[in-house]
Structure 1
Amino acid sequence: MSPPDTADPAAPAAPGPDRSLARSAVRGLSWSMVGALGQALLQLVSIVVLSRLLTAEEFGTAVAATVVMGLAVVLGQLGIGPALVQSRQLRDEDVATAFSVAAGLGVLLAAALFLAAPVIGPLVGLPADSWFLRLLSVVLVLGGLGSVSLGLLQRQLRFRALVLVELGAYGVGYLGTTVALASAGAGAAALVWGQVVQALVTAVGAYALVRHPVRPPSWPVAVRSARRVLGFGSAYSLAQLGNWVGLNGDNLVVTSTLGPAALGAYSRAYQLLVQPANLIGTVADKVLFPALSRIQDDRDRLARAYVLAGSLVALLTLPVSVLLLVLAPEVVAVLLGPGWTSVVLPLQVFAVVLLPRTAYKISGSLTRATGAVLGGAWRQWLYAAEVTVGCAVGSAWGVPGVAVGASVAIVAHFATMLVFSARISPGLVGRVLRSYARSLPVAVATAAAAWPAAALLRPSTPDAVVVLGTVVSGLLAAGAALLASRRLFRDELSVLAAARSRPAPPGRPPRTRPGV
């Protein structure tokens, strides 16, 4: 029997959709930020511990297996979860049909991957008798079972529940399993088992929180529901498939031209870039997609929200980019240990493109929220081609060359998605670029304090002290610059203040906030 809130899983009750949307979005942003901070902390623990328990080659072997599994996940889920988020109206039969389709596809693709593993494995550098891909096929089944529950939690703006699921799955499932097995000498297998347990905890935890209908409706009803859900989902999957190639084309190039050990070093550098990118960009995307979906027909509000989100991303990202560029040698030494010095230069290259790497997620949120997934799909494929070609050319100069090629592709994709987003409002590109420019003084102040602080501390202090002292100096300078220019960021600061405010008492309408 389905619970009351799944009869129409659109959103919880609110005093009025327009007035409550901004408050729901900023509170969702708060919870998502808490979750991202918690997961970033857990991932840092994972990086620190596992980099001392596993070799670069073992990391590379596990990454190669994960690349194949990731492709199968994209093909299997057909964008069903995001389709539920984006849908204007949603009925129980739509949810039940979506679950049946996702679960069935997960089982079919898991069987295909299990049977094809001896053929696919050698293509990504795995031995023909490796059992990693066959074990990872279980993740496809679990992912299909959990995709609808996760989509409904996001649609209902239940970000606290999402945070609990994600932190529990990563902390208990992945980190706990991986560290225990790696300490016992399991090698690359520890990383593979960790992903399986993480997928299991995610699927069980998400369904326990939503308890959506799972019994498929009658065949005619199921066909109608599938058309509604899969119309968006299939186009979204086409975009995600291009995004998968864009995100993994560099890994495929590295493992095929430079070998598993080089892939291990490259993947560590990219993982360190992903930490701040996920902390900022993925959090914003998770909140913006359902929020923008609710106002998808109001182009003025969409444009204001897009510009405001981009400005917040720049304000948060640029100082982090500067600090990562300055402190790359110490960050690698502290987090990975002395055997990973080859990661320093690629990490510095990636630090330069942290803003575009983070900001194009905002454009992706807008694209999905407005249903323009086909337009976004071919742009994702263009990005995939740019990454593959750029990394193939750069591989002649080793891992740093691959990082440069990937970074050029990131900047090109950011520009492409920004121009595509401008279709909703004339002059949007200029407004976004001007919002970025407002954050440049904050970045300059960070650099002016961080560079001399690091140079002063390096000769005589441990790496951890260099990191701490430089970060404190840079953030103090950034805070002072922001305080001096706070009039330029009134809307941004208002949104952040709304995230901390208490709900209005009964009978009193909540104050509206700009930008959404």
Structure 2
Amino acid sequence: MTNTEEIQLIQSEIGDKAGRGLRWSLVGTLAAKIGSFAMGLVLARLLTPADYGTFGIATAALAVLMHINDVGLIAAVVQWRGKLEDMAPTAATLAAVFGVVVYGAFWIAAPAYSAFSGDGNAVGVVRLLTLVIVIDGLTAVRSAKLMRDFQQDKLIIANTAGLVFQAAISIPLAVMGAGAYSFAWGQVASAAVTGILVTIFARVPLRVGFEREIAGKLLKYGFPLAISLGIEAIVMNVQLAIVGRISGQELLGFYVLAFNTSMWAQTILGTAIRYVSVAGFSRLSETDDRALANGVHKSVPMLVSVVAPIVALMSVLATPLIALLYGGRWAPAAPVLMLLVGLTFVRMVTGLAMDALMGAGATRSTLWIYLGWSVALIPALWYFTESFGIKGAAIAQTGIGVLVAIPLTALALQHANVALRPLGPPLVRPLLATVLAAAVAVLVARFTGPYPIVQLLTAGAAGLLVYIPLVVPREQLRRFPGMLRRSPA
């Protein structure tokens, strides 16, 4: 067998493993999203917008700390070029220590953070919810090991069990009047259950150790990544602190609901993809200089073809979607959702590119992208929120994402020897089809009466019926009925 054939065989094996992992991730995250969606519907009818605002402040803190507390060690373990058993004790020790230290520091800072966010009563919720980072630090290496080995099925089982416990705790607490604490206690319980199962499934010996050389290699890769992901989390979550401070907790509650709804595609597809993409791009970058570029050229058009119509239809049908799911009192969230789904598209495209850069070890490039993004976003977010309220915050988030984040990401890919020109032609058809599908959905929605469910079903179906034949190859469409009739065996 020639060297070229060996490389092709290795790449094929990586693709098979990544494909299996992605299938499991999609199935698992879809099931988890359905469960969390159902729980969210229940809680939205039990809690007030102000409760959502308080929880949003705590969630923003947790999102930032989760990316900082393990100093990029999860990705570093996934990307590690040597044997896992050689570095696991050092990585586990570092992750646990950093998790405890970061939590202790923020426990002290929680009152100041809550006061800045406009809700001094959020301190207890913030301190409770951020306890999740300690659990994450203790289980980081075990989660990374499952991702590294493409054992996403086990991760999904652990996450699903955690979601069940979350619902079992959050909903009764909400009924009893616990307010935002019902969210926080549920998430802490979920993290604990998930962590226990991940530890069991990973089968990594519980050893404590520290080797300076290994620690240096891990931190050299992970520290810039941790900073960049921390800045990413700030970019995505500083909005909640700013909106809460300027607009108050009730309007923040509407914004949080819109933001969470806009992230459905990101939660399902983005989470599933990230479970396998860093490991897949990392293995590809080891085999051949062109393999990473080829992987990006194939992945980005596929991602856009799936995400673009979802985002467009959610935007044009935001009003009936909010009315149907959450009721009339949440109507102020609809105009915000209409704009924020654009940010979802930006995050998913840039997120896939970031995964490719991480897989290639170019963590400094991700740092510069998020630095530029945050420098542009924070003043724009403050100005537009003061000028136009929560709708202005959505305009700033989506606008800066399109005008700043995407160009910076494109430059970083070029610097990593990923040519951008091959991406152009495959993107034209899905983007034009998306515009046409959205226009058809708007037109149909106007003639389907005042009932939200009728508008969603008819307009959404009309949009998809326009989009699918224009984007999906005819050969695949002809094979689809046969695939449905085929037995699972």
Q: TM-score, normalised by structure 1?
A: 0.86
1:482 aligns with 2:474: no
Matched, 1:69 2:62: yes
Distance (whole Å) between structure 2 residues aligned to residue 355 and residue 212 of structure 1:
37
Three-state SS of the structure 2 residue aligned to 1:131 is: helix
Alignment of 1:68-467 (within 5 A): 68-127=61-120, 130-169=123-162, 171-217=163-209, 219=210, 222-297=211-286, 298-395=288-385, 396-411=387-402, 412-425=404-417, 428-459=419-450, 462-467=451-456
Q: Contact 1:32/1:283 (CA < 8 Å) preserved in 2?
A: yes
CA gap 1:385/1:486 in 2 versus in 1, 3 angstroms: farther
Deviation at 1:367, TM superposition (A): 1.1
**Structure 2: which 5+ runs fail to align?**
1-7
Counterpart amino acid of 1:370?
A
Which stretch has the larger CA shift, 296-305 or 437-446?
A: 437-446
2: CA distance between counterparts of 1:475 and 1:299? 38
Distance 1:456 1:172 in 2: 41
Alignment partners' CA distance in 1, 2:108 and 2:367: 30
**Other structure's SS at 2:150 match:** coil
Secondary structure class of the residue paired with 2:317: helix
Aligned to 2:4: none
Displacement, 1:128? 6.1
What is the root-mean-square deviation of aligned Cα atoms in Å? 2.5
Match of 2:341, as an amino acid? A
Q: 1:74 to 1:445 in 2, by over 3 A?
A: closer
Change (3 A) 1:403 1:127: same
Structure 1: runs of 5+ lacking an equivalent: 1-14, 504-516
**Once the two structures are superposed, what CA deviation does each residue of 1:133-178 show, in whole Å capped at 9, x if it has no partner?**
3323421211111211111110001111121122222x21333322
Greater shift in the superposed pair: 268-277 or 121-130: 121-130
Residue pair 1:72, 1:109 contacting (<8 A) in 2 also? yes
Q: Distance in 2 between matches of 1:419 and 1:129?
A: 40
- The CA distance in 2 between the partners of 1:448 and 1:69, in whole Å, is 38
How far apart in 2 are the matches of 1:195 and 1:47? Answer: 13
In the alignment, the residues of structure 1 paired with residue 393 and residue 130 of structure 2 have an alpha-carbon distance, to the nearest angstrom, of: 29
Give the structure with the higher percent helix: 2
The runs of at least 4 consecutive aligned structure 1 residues that moved more than 6 Å come to 500-503
Q: Which residue of 2 aligns with 1:3?
A: none
Aligned residues of 2:60 and 2:238 also touching (Cα < 8 A): no
CA deviation after TM superposition for structure 1 residue 54, in Å: 0.9
- Using structure 2 for the length normalisation, give the TM-score: 0.91
Equivalents in 2 of 1:320, 1:118: separation in Å?
39
Q: Distance in 2 between matches of 1:356 and 1:72?
A: 22
Structure 2 match to 1:470: 459
SS of 2:120's partner is coil
1:275-328 per-position Cα deviation (integer Å, ceiling 9, x unaligned): 012223332232221011002142322111112111111111121122112211
2:225, 2:363 within 8 Å by CA — same for their partners in 1? yes
Maintained 8 Å contact 1:64/1:125 = no
Secondary structure at the counterpart of residue 295 of structure 1: helix
Per-residue CA distance 1:91-142 (angstroms, 9 max, x = gap): 3241111111111222222233334433433222332684223323421211
Report how far residue 413 of structure 1 moved: 0.5
CA-CA distance at 1:267 after TM superposition: 1.4
Amino acid at match of 2:276: V
Distance (whole Å) between structure 1 residues aligned to residue 432 and residue 197 of structure 2: 44
User: What amino acid is the match of 1:379?
Assistant: I
Deviation readout 1:478-505 (Å, 9 max, x if unpaired): 222235x547x99xx99xx9xx9999xx
Are the aligned partners of 2:353 and 2:413 in contact in 1 as well (CA < 8 Å)?
Answer: yes
Count of residue pairs brought into register by the alignment: 474
Distance 1:118 1:203, change over 3 A: same
Shift of 1:445: 4.5
Q: Is the 8 A contact 2:57 2:117 kept in 1?
A: yes
Aligned sequence identity (%): 24
Once residues 200 and 322 of structure 1 are traced to their aligned partners in structure 2, the CA distance between those partners, rounded to angstroms, is 37
- Paired residue type of 1:24: K
